[in-house]
Structures are given as structure tokens and as C-alpha cells.
């Protein structure tokens, strides 16, 4: 699941994709009566203060792919990964593409992004988003994420690992659709799956490259436990580095949970505390040593 979207949520956050004309786009929207407020800690990210999301999607700016509706928390993993123009990047669980298109904008549509997803239906949505936003530096793949390392060993400068998760950070009290599929068994199954994907992602990364792991769940089994497991199992292969996010919503990762103590330094990972703008999220940053 791409944590940039959910069909039961109506968000009011947006990210400007045409970064070179951000000021012009803001002025144009303001002249059309849209009141937008910058989101602290994120570049070219805004909250819609009035009007409706539907009205925003009817603007020329939206139809031309200059802006994209994306929750503030969903924008953080790409910011932490910080892809630069000319980089080679893997988005290992990409569809429907909110973070892929965000990274393409950060890279000024240069370099190369491999956007992978194992769902053919979601891959169609990804391709559609790439086309509508004018992204030309991205190639899509339809492979199992845990098998990507076989095709791309030690290939990428940077890898985004926004894994499928239980989406606990998006539960809405009293709205059954947001949590009807949740179970402890599913959390355990996802945790195992996430570990396989992270292992594949690290194998796809060049020595010296950066890996960012993220979820939109609050489950420690899918967050700190996954990172702690990998670091214990692959000592000397990767280094955990501090996630630096300038936001009051950020707290350190949990040192322990349910009687299990996580690896030293796990507090370098970060949890995003939800509010009216930010959804619950988890982000970890790794450097591949060899």
C-alpha cells in the first residue's frame, strides 16, 4: 500500500511538483481564491485552508500535473532519502506513485528511477500518474519486491522502501472500512514480509548508498522490530543514521515494546505523531557500508 493515499480519507494537503515555479503556482492558486498555508519542515508543501479538494482538482495547476494531493507525512520519506538530480533511485513498492513523482520532481526529472510494484492493477495507476505529471526519468517494473535484488544487485544510489503495512496510523474511530481487515495475525505476516523486502532493498543498494524504510502504521512489530532485526542479522553491512525532520510532530523510535528490547540506537529512527495535518508514520534511514 502506498501510504500517500487511502480511498476512505479526504486529505487537504498538497505538494507542488513543479518546484521551479512554486512561487508562481502559489500566487495563481491564491488569485483563484484558494487559501493555502505552508507546512512547517517541508519544502513546497501546503495545507488547503478553504474550498474543497474537488475544487482544487478542477484547477489548471492540478490538471497540468503541477500540484499533487499528498498527505504531509507521506512526503517525509522522500525528503529523508533526498534524491538529487542524476541519482539512480529504486522505489521498491511504488504504486500508485505519490512518492515516485515527488522524487522525480526533486531530481528535476533527471537521473533514473526504477518504480516497482507487484500489483499489475496498481502499476497501471502508477503509469497514469507518471504520464499526467510529465515524469520521464522513471521506468516501471512488475516484480516481487523481495526478488528485486536478483535483477539489480548493488545498483542504486538510493532506495525507498515504503512497505505494505497494516496502516494503523490511518484508522478512524467509528469508520469500520479503515480497520476492518486488521488482525494480529496480519501484523505478524506483514512484519515477515517487510523484512524480506528490506533485505532485498539493501542488496539492491550500492556500497555507500542510502536506504529509507517507512510505514504508515504505529505497530512496533512492523517498525522498530524490522529495523532492529535487520541490524542484528546483518552486522557490519549497514549503519543506522539519525533521521532529521524539523517538525514538532517527530518523536524518537521506541527502545522497547512488549518486553522486547530493540537494538541500541533505534531511537535514531523516527515516529510521526498524528494531528490535523500529519498522519502517523515511521521512518528509518540506513547507509550501506559494504
CB distance 187 to 166 below 8 Å:
yes
For residue 253, give the nearest of 289, 222, 209 by alpha carbon.
222
Half-sphere exposure of residue 24: CA atoms within 13 angstroms, side-chain side: 8
SS3 percent helix, strand, coil of the chain, rounded to 5, is 35, 25, 40
How many residues appear in the chain?
290
Q: How far apart are CA 30 and CA 267, in angstroms?
A: 40
Instruction: Verify whether residue 165 is a known catalytic residue.
Output: no
Look up cell 542479522; give the residue: 233
- Which residues, at least 6 apart from 46, have a Cβ–Cβ distance to it below 8 Å? 13, 14, 15, 16, 26, 36, 37, 38, 39
The two most distant CA atoms of the chain are separated, in Å, by 56
CB count, 10 Å around CB of 151?
12
Look up cell 495475525; give the residue: 185
Catalytic residue chosen out of the listed positions 93, 165, 204, 216: 216
Q: Are strands 205-215 and 156-162 parallel, antiparallel or unpaired?
A: parallel
Q: Would you say the C-alpha torsion 39, 14, 286, 265 has a positive or negative sign?
A: positive
Type and span of the H or E element at 162: strand 156-162
- Residues that are catalytic: 216
Amino acid at each position: 500500500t502506498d501510504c500517500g493515499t487511502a480511498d476512505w480519507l479526504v486529505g487537504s494537503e498538497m505538494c507542488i511538483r513543479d518546484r521551479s515555479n512554486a512561487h508562481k503556482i502559489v500566487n495563481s492558486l491564491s488569485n483563484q481564491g484558494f487559501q493555502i498555508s505552508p507546512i512547517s519542515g517541508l519544502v513546497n508543501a501546503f495545507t488547503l485552508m478553504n474550498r474543497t479538494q474537488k475544487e482544487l482538482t478542477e484547477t489548471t495547476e492540478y490538471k497540468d500535473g503541477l500540484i499533487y494531493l499528498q498527505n504531509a507525512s507521506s512526503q517525509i520519506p522522500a525528503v529523508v532519502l533526498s534524491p538529487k538530480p542524476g541519482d539512480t533511485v529504486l522505489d521498491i513498492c511504488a504504486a500508485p506513485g505519490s512518492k515516485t513523482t515527488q522524487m522525480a520532481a526533486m531530481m528535476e526529472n533527471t537521473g533514473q528511477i526504477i518504480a516497482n510494484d507487484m500489483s499489475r492493477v496498481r502499476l497501471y495507476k502508477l503509469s497514469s500518474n507518471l504520464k499526467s505529471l510529465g515524469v520521464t526519468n522513471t521506468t516501471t517494473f512488475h516484480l516481487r519486491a523481495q526478488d528485486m535484488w536478483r535483477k539489480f544487485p548493488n545498483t542504486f544510489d538510493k532506495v525507498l522502501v515504503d512497505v505494505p503495512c497494516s496502516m494503523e496510523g490511518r484508522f478512524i474511530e467509528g469508520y469500520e472500512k479503515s480497520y476492518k481487515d486488521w488482525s494480529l495475525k496480519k501484523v505478524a505476516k506483514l512484519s515477515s514480509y517487510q523484512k524480506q523486502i528490506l533485505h532485498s532493498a539493501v542488496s539492491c543498494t550500492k556500497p555507500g548508498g542510502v536506504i529509507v524504510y517507512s510505514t504508515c502504521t504505529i505497530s512496533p512489530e512492523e517498525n522498530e522490530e524490522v529495523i532492529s532485526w535487520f541490524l542484528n542479522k546483518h552486522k557490519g553491512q549497514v549503519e543506522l543514521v539519525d533521521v532529521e525532520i524539523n517538525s514538532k510532530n517527530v518523536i524518537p523510535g521506541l527502545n522497547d515494546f512488549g518486553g522486547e528490547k530493540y537494538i541500541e540506537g533505534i531511537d535514531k529512527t523516527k515516529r510521526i505523531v498524528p494531528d490535523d495535518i500529519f498522519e502517523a508514520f515511521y521512518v528509518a534511514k540506513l547507509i550501506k557500508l559494504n
